[in-house]
Every structure is written in structure tokens, then in C-alpha cells.
Amino acid sequence: MHIDDERIQRLLHGELSGSDELTIRGHLAECADCRSRLAQAQRDEAEVDALLREIDHPVPTVTAAELANAAQRRAAPWLRWAAMIALALGVAGAAYAIPGSPLRRWVNTLTHRAPPAPPPPPAAPAAPPQFPDSPAAGIALAPGIGFVVRFTNPQPIAQIDVLLTEGAEVEVRALSGTATFSAGSDRLVVEARGRATFEVRIPRTAPRVQLMVGDKRILLKEGSHVVTEPSGYCRSASAVRYVCQLQR
């Protein structure tokens, strides 16, 4: 039994566990064929590395401190605004708190002169941003570094069409049926009502987006790769489209 290609490469790159490496080195001591294959793999690696070095350029001189400063400078505008607002609120609060303060008298005059305010109308439930021109219910969110779209009740969902787009936001639309969307910074929970079909649009540039039905992952888009296994609910319909059938 000879050593397979996977283990030849792993031996070359120090990716074998200690016990596997011992076993394989033991085999190599006795097998001229495998020694020859390992030597060839080493030569291939050296040749490829040497050719790649030919196209290298000098590494730019930049320091961690310079990049940390650049990151802080970029954050500065909103920080300055936040600091100014906090300062203004602090000054106003201090002025109000001083006994005999004209600001306190002024506020008291205003509040006593004003007619009693009518009771506020009952607050409408907070709604996620919707597509204003679309007849279908939907939501669009920036995916950030990692994003999860979770469908909470799989039974009524007939189909989910997944499209890879050039857009910047993950978009989820209910093409038929209705749905409730609950959005967080890195996740979206979709609760379908009735027999629903959905369209999910994922930006190609999103680093990592997962589609879940309940606790089951049906699709993972990571970098340029889309993985539909092991659930097997989704199949590739084209280079940019996947169809997930949830009722079999």
C-alpha cells in the first residue's frame, strides 16, 4: 500500500499529525517508489516557488502604527460629532442643574405655559425598511463580514430562489405569501405566513452569508464559493442562481 497524494503533500507541508508522520516515514524507509514520489513532489514545489519569486516586487515599507493611525483618522469625523453633541448636552445639563439658573427658569416657564399635551397615539410597531416600489414584501440589509438569513417555519415555504448580484445589500422578498422580518446587525429572521416563496439576493462581494431553515443550513456563500451540501435542498440553476426546494 503506497502513500496517497494527499499525504505526500501533507508530509511536504508539515500538515500531518505526529503519529501519521511516524507511520509514513516508516513506510518511506522501506518503499523506494514512495521515496521517489516524495522527492519529485519536493522538486515540483521548489520549481514552482522559484518561478513565483521571479514576479515578486519589494514589500512596501509601512508600519503597524501608521495603519493604526490611518484607521483612527478615518474614524475621527463621527467621533468628533459625537464628542460635540455629548459636550453640548453636558453643558446644558450643568446649566439646568445650577440653583437659580436662568435656563431652569426658562424651561419651567415653557413647561407651565404649554397646554397639556394630548395623549400620544399608540405607537405603530417598528417596521423594517421595505422596498417602496415593490408589490412584494421585502427587506434589504448590508451583510457586513458575516450574515445569517434564517427562515423560522419551514413547512409553508415552497421555494427559495437565491441570486448572486452585483448589489451591496442582502435582499429578501416574499414573492408569494406574507412574511414578518426581524433584522439584527448580522442576521435576519424571516417568519413566513401561508404558502410562501422567496427570493434572496446576495451580493457577490459579501464575504460570508448563510441561509438557514430552522437550525439547518441550506446554503453557504463564502468568498466566491457557494456550498449547498450537506442538506441537499438547493441546486445550482446557473452560475448566479440557486433554487432551494423545501417541500419534497
Report the interface residues with another protein, using CB under 8 A: 4-10, 13, 15, 41, 44-45, 47-49, 51-52, 54-57, 59-60, 62-65, 67-68, 70-72, 74-75, 144-146, 166, 185-186, 204-205, 207-208, 220, 222-227
- Size (the chain), residues: 248
Residue 183 beta carbon to another protein: minimum distance, rounded to whole angstroms:
15
Residue 232 beta carbon to another protein: minimum distance, rounded to whole angstroms:
16
- Identify which of residues 48 and 237 has a Cβ nearer to another protein in the complex: 48
CA distances from 79 to 51, 74, 88, 93 (A): 48, 10, 14, 21
Q: Partners of 140 in the beta sheet?
A: 171
Residue 210 beta carbon to another protein: minimum distance, rounded to whole angstroms:
11
Question: How many whole angstroms separate alpha carbon 132 and alpha carbon 148?
Answer: 24
Residue 9 beta carbon to another protein: minimum distance, rounded to whole angstroms:
3
- Identify which of residues 33 and 44 has a Cβ nearer to another protein in the complex: 44
The residues, any chain, with a CB within 8 Å of residue 96's CB and separated by 6 or more, are 103, 104, 107
- Identify which of residues 147 and 198 has a Cβ nearer to another protein in the complex: 147
The b/e string for 29-49 (b: 16+ C-beta within 10 A; e otherwise) is: eebeebeebbeebeeeeeeee
Q: Cα Rg for the chain, rounded, in angstroms?
A: 30
The DSSP symbol for 206 reads: -
Q: How many CB atoms lie within 10 A of CB 151?
A: 26
- Identify which of residues 133 and 166 has a Cβ nearer to another protein in the complex: 166
- Identify which of residues 54 and 133 has a Cβ nearer to another protein in the complex: 54
Residue 144 beta carbon to another protein: minimum distance, rounded to whole angstroms:
6
